[in-house]
Amino acid sequence: MLKSLRPLATGIEGFIDRLGSLTAWIALVMIGLVATNVILRYTLSLGSVWAQELEWHLLAALILLGMSHALQRGDNVRVDLFYARYSPRLKRVVDVISALLLIAVALAFIQLSLGYVEQSRSIMEGSPDPGGIPYRWAVKALIPLGYGLLVLQQLAHLLRLLTDPVVPVEPKEAARV
């Protein structure tokens, strides 16, 4: 039954991968914006609250939309002092438990952030600074979205873990590792 869900995992991973491409463009725009702000500030003594706030908003989008892609690609920081020595079966158990725990934490973040976002939207929160960006609630809405993407990515990972066969390591190969 779980094998029939593999196309779903592939679809989710494809979506997360396309979203990762979008975050790369966000990073490029953010780099250009920061460079422009620095050049304008130090050459012409021009600054903009709006542009500075946009840097932070783009950074939030980059992190919240990109964390699921980074995790999918294995770009996250991982300490595998013990993990590297585990058998394939034990690695799978650790990976399944880790995926379930991350899903639980992400769902908690979603639940906690929804009220926060709704409160901000209901008062149409904007920047407290003159010339700042209006609609700050829209940036806050990236919190549940980003963690929702993380849940999707971990569900796809979990499906892969549960449908891929465990390949035992031969004793000779294990000795070389």
Domain ranges (residues) in the chain = 2-176
pTM above threshold 0.75: yes
State the amino acid at position 43 in one-letter form. Answer: T
The pLDDT score that the predictor gives to residue 134 is 85
What token pair was written down for 46?
């021009």
* Interval 67-116: pLDDT, tens: 999 888 876 666 777 888 888 888 889 889 999 999 999 999 999 999 99
The pLDDT score that the predictor gives to residue 150 is 95
Residues 117/142, Cβ–Cβ less than 8 Å: no
Structure-derived torsion over alpha carbons of residues 164, 66, 94, 163, reported in degrees to the nearest 10: -10
Any idea what DSSP says for residue 82? T
Decide: helix, strand or coil at residue 47. coil
* Interval 7-16: pLDDT, tens: 888 899 899 9
The more confident residue out of 110 and 171 is: 110
Widest distance between CA atoms in the chain: 68
Taken in order 162, 167, 168, 173, the sign of the CA dihedral is negative
Structure-derived torsion over alpha carbons of residues 87, 91, 97, 98, reported in degrees to the nearest 10: 150
Length in residues, the chain: 177
